[in-house]
A and B are shown apart, each in its own frame.
Chain A
């Protein structure tokens, strides 16, 4: 595991992109092909199948460290990372190193699959004893997943391109080509480096999606974007981003999280046999009924389910709201202009009239001035959309998050003034601060909690709040403290729904702390009635 540990330490010890890329190139030069494949897999959020539960890992680690389980759990809460907690509570390495490399350790872990609990425990604790704290951390990460070292897919792609360029026996590949190859359904257990990156025609994977082009949020007015005439505006739909692929009579639907979700939306299946050319559509998976989008909450019912009943399909019908076309026939058209791609998308959809109940074109909104578009945007919420997407008519379809051609221009989120009543210590990087807070509104003379929120304050404010919590604790419940209810915060959120599970009767979507209202007394905070008025 030496090469991989060195790579990890090098990546972890720098914030400079050029150094990271070089460390990756050095690793690709030194590592075996199977280690290369596994490293790429780990950096793109793939991992070996889990063969040991984390609760067993916690138990064994506490036992080996000679501490009670509750202390292990409290420590884990502060550290915020299980692999790291285990690596650091255990006593120093006590046996000689074995010379396993990355892929051999992965095989070691995968081989535990059919072992009984005693065997698993013995193998895992033996591994812990033979590894340094850094190696142990990586070993644990191979089991638990969630491997984050500040290496984006883009960085891996860049390093691979550089490595292939410098390597005489290998063929050069464009970064975009590599990014495309790293997408989709490949299994590090079975694929070779040759097949993953080098082989000429990888026509074996019909399901392979393209990397999504992601927009930046427009902070100010669109005035700075220039002439309105250069831009197209579409509603920003409140669903989940998806890529709908039809190739050789097979249909695949990918969500933005690079998850194949075809089976969750069986109503789309008939598109596999629809007349016309093959295609790859970029669009929104959207709950939709009676000619209107349904609230996101409705879609959530479908997202969570592995199998879908007829009843649920009828209750929450979904559509693909198509907004871009990436491939038609077998042609990748991402380098064509947005306008040209849209024309072909429009043609494609209008040739499929039998399927307009499940495949719709996201219509462009005509406008002459930014002011006109701005007033149209004020109606976004009643249309159950989040605002506008602005797309440059001449722009090509880019890879990943790039500034310039696509912008999301959202309506302001809803807000409410609330009183802080509970505080909990943060995880990981904020382990020594209180960062998780529960907020309440007035119901008569009682405070009713209605949401938790954490993001949105500066580090200085968190520090100040931590000091406040220390001085104003009323009661403790494990890691949670109730505090004197005197501080008021403005809570912003993107949506609100009725909820029987919550004491307040409402559930918020994406709540965050917008600002600390130092100018307000607790008695001036909003009421439950104010909150419920936002339900409409």
Chain B
């Protein structure tokens, strides 16, 4: 029997009787990070890293929760667990599981590059790895992030010169904070959709500093936004909410923007290739560096990625989840409250 197996409730460690990011209610859940395809409501008890606590509270309300430091080991029925930075969003973790000398790692969502706000990815060694493969195709090759921030600031600055509102969509947990930390606020004011502002508030209250931001509210006039940038979750693009901005220039910041078709479909003026997931090269590097021989991809192009790994000599099988993971339109945590 495997240390971790895939069940209809999610990834399961039988010996310890705990689930990892389960999608149906379970007694005990270890949570890699706060996105809604990983942190679902309804479990009896949750465990996560300390820096994810405020985010989970904000999203799930008063849940029963145990928190750990990164690297801190805890043992359940002889199985050793620990959380390690995944570099995906604030408070994101990989989970290391050691049972009878066999080490497994569940990566959750991750990226190798340091985004300046998420705890930097730690490369673990293991025998078996359950890795995400959201962007597991060789066409996904991320642009240097500094270049992307420059592009965003230049675009904002040009719009501000014309008195055109700049409207940029980004997931409210992760991407929004990452962008906020890299905006050049000498250009104008940063406004956030309520979903993002509330998430920011929760993060700031937990003791993490963020650059200044304003919440969009009903008292604002269209003129307030003339030289501003507005950060909003992708879902707001198709809602009445966006109507308060007069002819904004619309941008989308996402890994999916790497493909022309995805950008054109969105009807966005600009697409910025910025992802909190691994690109093709990073995925392959992380797998090589883990030393693992058994690789189980989940999220995204699992079949294709698994076949590629098999040909490279790995023992590999895709793991299906009930969720399709991150897509262009479906934000992992779809929050509409303003």
Contact = CB atoms under 8 A, between A and B. Distances in A.
Interface string B290-331: 000000000011011001100100000000111110011110
Interface centre among B137, B268, B269, B323 (most CB of A within 10 A): B137
Closest 8 interchain pairs by CB? A429-B265, A428-B261, A429-B261, A88-B139, A89-B138, A74-B304, A75-B137, A14-B269
A150 B322 CA distance: 37
14 contacts: A14-B269, A68-B311, A71-B304, A71-B308, A74-B137, A74-B304, A75-B304, A78-B137, A79-B259, A88-B138, A150-B264, A432-B327, A471-B322, A476-B303
Given A84-B260, A471-B322, A78 B301 contact: yes
A470 B138 contact: no
Interface in A41-99: 65, 67-68, 70-72, 74-75, 78-81, 84-85, 88-89
Nearest to B304: A74
A463 B327 contact: yes
Interface residues of B, number: 32
A429 B260 CA distance: 8
Contact of A89 (B139, B259, B301, B303): B139
Contacts of B264: 12, 150, 429
B320 A88 contact: no
Nearest to B260: A84
Nearest to B266: A429
Given A75-B139, A432-B324, A432-B327, A16 B269 contact: yes
B156 to A, nearest CB: 14
A168 interface: no
B169 to A, nearest CB: 15
A72 B268 CA distance: 28
Given A15-B267, A150-B264, A463 B138 contact: no
A473 B321 CA distance: 12
A75 B329 contact: no
Contacts of B268: 15
Interface string A453-485: 000000100010011001101001000000000
A71 B262 contact: no
Contacts of B201: none
Interface of B: 137-139, 141, 256, 258-262, 264-265, 267-270, 300-301, 303-304, 307-308, 311, 320-324, 327-330
Given A14-B269, A470-B324, A71 B138 contact: yes
B322 A79 contact: no
A467 B324 contact: yes
A458 to B, nearest CB: 11
A499 B216 CA distance: 60
Contact of B329 (A67, A88, A428, A463): A463
Contacts of B304: 71, 74-75
Contacts of A85: 139
Nearest to A13: B270
A81 B269 contact: no
Nearest to B303: A476
A67 B140 CA distance: 14
B141 A88 contact: yes
A135 to B, nearest CB: 14
A12 B260 contact: yes
A75 B138 contact: yes
Given A88-B258, A150-B264, A476-B303, 6 more contacts: A13-B270, A15-B267, A74-B137, A75-B138, A89-B139, A432-B324
Contacts of B301: 74, 78
B261 A81 contact: yes
B186 to A, nearest CB: 24
A431 interface: yes
A89 B327 CA distance: 21
A67 B330 CA distance: 31
B261 A15 contact: no
A80 B267 contact: no
A58 to B, nearest CB: 13
B139 A79 contact: yes
B260 A67 contact: no
B261 A431 contact: yes
